[in-house]
């Protein structure tokens, strides 16, 4: 007897399904952008569960759009090739050789692995790069960082076409400028820009922490909901630090541009996307516009 059979009676299973119904109805037909990162990208079991969650969302009428980076995989490949990485303010300095490796890893390896894991369940996922069909127009972040880019513009027509045809777009965070020069872009920023352009209902960031904390050193200080003004205060005060800063800023940018809400959730938790979207309690941190009240679904 497995865990589900032992701990969930038919009545409890039915109650869980009933709890999900209003959420399924609320999100049906809406775009939800999911930025995949952390352990969910490198742990095979978590990666499989992520694919199952995405397919289930698609099956109940939601339009998931997956965005991914791949910093650990890029770093691992550079190490194997004997190429040293240099960092400035947490960003990898990217010369032409490093850019070639990044494109190879992101587009040729990571993207294909995600697409394959989803397509086990049916011919649904389509892997693309931000370079394809002018999806992401990029510009240089700074001379110091080389070919690290920033999003300058998004043309969502390719993604909109794929969604209309019933596909699940899986997008690697590479963009190009008007001259065809490629850039590696922070995937958190790419996800925020795409969510804005697609008028997404939600944007979800998978991380390796349960969400925001009032005290980053104290797991018991988890914050389940926060408004944009309070989140800005946490950034300005230095309460949020390290890798959570770009995610927090990306959440603010998305909501300021009209995305309904942003979520930071722990990708180490099995089926965490379903828990966050389809249950009353949620599990991560939901960032809301200042004017929203506590009854937001």
Residue 36, pLDDT score: 94
- The helix (run of H) or strand (run of E) holding residue 12 is helix 10-27
What's the CA gap between 41 and 50, in Å, rounded? 9
Beta strands in the chain (DSSP E): 31-36, 63-68, 87-88, 91-92, 125-129, 136-140, 148-154, 168-172, 174-176, 182-185, 202-207, 225-227, 261-266, 285-288
Residue 208, pLDDT score: 85
What's the CA gap between 48 and 54, in Å, rounded? 10
Residue 53, pLDDT score: 95
Residue 213, pLDDT score: 84
CB 228 within 8 A of CB 256: yes
CATH class of 23-210+268-273: alpha beta
Backbone φ and ψ of 146, nearest 5°: 75, -125
Residue 155, pLDDT score: 97
Cα dihedral 252, 254, 259, 262 in deg (nearest 10): -60
Backbone φ and ψ of 167, nearest 5°: -95, 165
Residue 296, pLDDT score: 44
Q: In angstroms, how far is the first alpha carbon of the chain from the final one? A: 35
What's the CA gap between 72 and 69, in Å, rounded? 9
DSSP string, 211-265: S-BSSTT-GGGB-SEEEHHHHHHHHHHT-S-TTHHHHHHHHHHHHHTT-SEEEEE
Residue 4, pLDDT score: 43
CB 262 within 8 A of CB 223: no
Kindly list the domain boundaries of the chain, sorted by start residue. Answer: 23-210+268-273
Average pLDDT by stretches of 10, the chain with 297 residues: 50 76 91 90 90 96 96 92 85 93 96 96 96 96 94 97 98 96 94 96 90 81 90 88 81 91 91 87 84 51
């Amino acid at each position: 007897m497995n865990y589900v059979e032992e701990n969930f009676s038919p009545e409890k299973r039915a109650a869980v399904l009933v709890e999900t119904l209003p959420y399924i109805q609320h999100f049906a037909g809406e775009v939800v952008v999911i930025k995949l990162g952390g352990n969910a990208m490198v742990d095979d079991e978590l990666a499989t569960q992520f694919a199952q969650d995405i397919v289930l969302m698609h099956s109940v009428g939601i339009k998931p759009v997956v965005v991914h980076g791949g910093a650990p995989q890029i770093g691992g490949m550079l190490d194997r090739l004997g190429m040293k990485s240099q960092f400035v303010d947490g960003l990898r300095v990217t010369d032409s050789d490093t850019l070639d490796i990044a494109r190879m890893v992101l587009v040729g390896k990571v993207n294909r692995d995600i697409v394959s894991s989803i397509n086990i369940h049916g011919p649904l996922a389509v892997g693309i790069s931000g370079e394809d069909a002018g999806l992401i127009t990029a510009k240089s972040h700074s001379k110091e960082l080389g070919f690290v880019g920033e999003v300058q513009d998004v043309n969502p027509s390719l993604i909109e076409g794929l969604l209309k045809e019933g596909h699940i777009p899986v997008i690697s965070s590479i963009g190009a400028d008007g001259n065809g020069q490629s850039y590696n872009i922070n995937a958190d920023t790419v996800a925020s820009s795409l969510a804005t352009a697609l008028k997404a209902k939600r944007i979800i960031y998978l991380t390796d922490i349960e969400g925001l904390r009032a005290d980053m050193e104290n797991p018991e200080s988890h914050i389940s909901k926060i408004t944009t003004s309070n989140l800005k205060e946490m950034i300005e005060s230095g309460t949020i630090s390290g890798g959570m800063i770009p995610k927090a800023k990306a959440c603010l940018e998305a909501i300021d541009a009209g995305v309904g809400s942003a979520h930071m959730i722990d990708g180490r938790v099995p089926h965490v996307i379903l828990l966050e979207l389809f249950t009353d309690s949620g599990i991560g941190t939901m960032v809301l516009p200042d004017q929203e009240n506590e009854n937001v679904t």
